[in-house]
Every structure is written in C-alpha cells, then in structure tokens.
C-alpha cells in the first residue's frame, strides 16, 4: 500500500506543477520556484514531515522536498547553534544536492551546445 500512496502523493505534486504551467501560464522556472516555496512553507508549518511519513518517496523525490530540506535544516540548526545556524543549516542538509547540480550542469555545458 505504501507504493500506492507514494504514487498518488508524488503524482499529485506533479499535477500541481503541470497545472501551474498550463492554467497559471507560469514558466518552468517559476513553477519550480513556487513548488520549492510551497515545500518550505509546508515544513515551516510542520506539515511536510507527516507527509513524508505517509507517502515516503512520493514526498521526498519531488522538488517540494528541496524546500522542505532548506527550512528543516535551518530550523534544526537554529535550535542547536542559534541564529548563525539558520545559514549553516541550509547548506548542511542540501549540500549534496547543490553540489550535484553544479557538477552535472558544468558537465552538460561541456558536452552540449546551447541553441540560444
């Protein structure tokens, strides 16, 4: 049953993103930013962790989980180290994802010629 709920929740997040682009006429970059902010807000309101417990990968794979990770890390380090933890906590949790994005973007730029 956990696979079913992961599919439903992950699919619902993707449907929301598609609706933002089709109905809301947002660009993919605006849609991605909106979903990251929604994930951050959901974590700030303590709604994203129960969603992860319920849906597993259906909540951790979509881009909304990046916003969740940013806020979760910042709040965790805030309680541990004070206000400086807000800055350090963001990078502590998301550094692997940020590093991978930079490295793979660089490799793609080396091997693919842009058309623009």
Condensed to tens digits (0 to 9), the pLDDT of residues 69-90 reads 999 989 999 999 889 888 888 8
Encoded tokens for 46: 């303590």
Q: What is the residue-averaged pLDDT of the chain?
A: 91
Neighbour-count burial of 51, counting CB atoms closer than 10 A to its CB (0-12 exposed, 13-18 middle, 19+ buried): buried
Confidence at residue 115, expressed as pLDDT on a 0 to 100 scale: 74
Q: Is the pLDDT of residue 99 over 80?
A: yes
How much of the chain is helix, strand and coil, in % rounded to 5?
85, 0, 15
Confidence at residue 42, expressed as pLDDT on a 0 to 100 scale: 95
Q: How far is residue 39's CA from residue 67's CA, in Å, rounded to a whole number?
A: 5
Mean pLDDT across the stretch 4-29? 96
Q: How far is residue 59's CA from residue 32's CA, in Å, rounded to a whole number?
A: 15
| Predicted TM-score (pTM) of this structure | 0.81
């Amino acid at each position: 049953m956990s696979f079913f709920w992961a599919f439903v929740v992950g699919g619902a997040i993707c449907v929301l993103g598609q609706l933002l682009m089709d109905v809301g006429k947002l660009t993919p970059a605006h849609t991605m930013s909106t979903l990251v902010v929604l994930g951050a807000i959901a974590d700030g309101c303590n709604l994203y962790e129960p969603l992860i417990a319920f849906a597993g990968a259906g909540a951790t794979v979509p881009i909304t989980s990046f916003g969740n990770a940013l806020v979760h890390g910042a709040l965790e380090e805030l309680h541990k180290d004070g206000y400086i933890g807000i800055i350090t906590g963001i990078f502590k949790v998301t550094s692997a994802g940020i590093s991978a994005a930079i490295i793979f973007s660089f490799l793609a730029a080396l091997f693919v010629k842009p058309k623009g």
